[in-house]
Amino acid sequence: MRDPKQFLMYLLFSALFLLGVVFFFPNADEPDESEGAAQAVPHHQTITSGEARVLMESGEPYILLDVRTVAEFERSHIPGATLFPYDEIVIRALAELQDQEARILLYCQTGRRSANAARALAELGFTNVYDFGGIASWPYETVSG
């Protein structure tokens, strides 16, 4: 068995080595941009309810998606919204949304599902995706049914 002092020194040097690797090479697993063109990371924009309202009233075409459940949608939704339940977003987007450059506005109840749905659409290649959070913070008109 090793001498306890030697063992502690070994542990100390091992820990210092690992810390050095983490601090001096924090992105070691990421590709070096000098090796070729960096791949674009899909992204979407997060906006406020007011900014969403401005986009809706701009006269430019847009698709308004409610990513909540059927029951939530029937209880209350924003006029003109299409129900695209969160758990169906990928399948329905691929089947029904033909223009990957179309302006897509998303909302849910509080913002978590719409953020995930926006990220999923961006990863599918949709380039004009806006998440404005939840209907809970929408101060404008809603309808039921």
**For the residues of 12-24, what is the DSSP string, one character each?**
HHHHHHHHHHHHH
Same domain, 14 and 58: no
* Residue 29: pLDDT band with limits 50, 70, 90: very low
| Number of structural domains the chain divides into | 2
Same domain, 60 and 131: yes
Give me the count of residues in the chain: 145
**143 within a domain of the structure (yes/no):** no
- Residue 105's DSSP bridge partners are 64, 130
Give me the domain span that covers residue 19: 4-35
pTM: 0.71
Has residue 54 got a pLDDT over 70? yes
Task: Centre a 10 Å sphere on the Cβ of residue 107 and count the other Cβ atoms it contains.
Answer: 29
φ, ψ (nearest 5 deg) of residue 76: -170, 135
Task: Centre a 10 Å sphere on the Cβ of residue 53 and count the other Cβ atoms it contains.
Answer: 18
Query: Percent of the chain beyond pLDDT 90?
Result: 69
Same domain, 28 and 79: no
* Residue 33: pLDDT band with limits 50, 70, 90: very low
Has residue 113 got a pLDDT over 90? yes
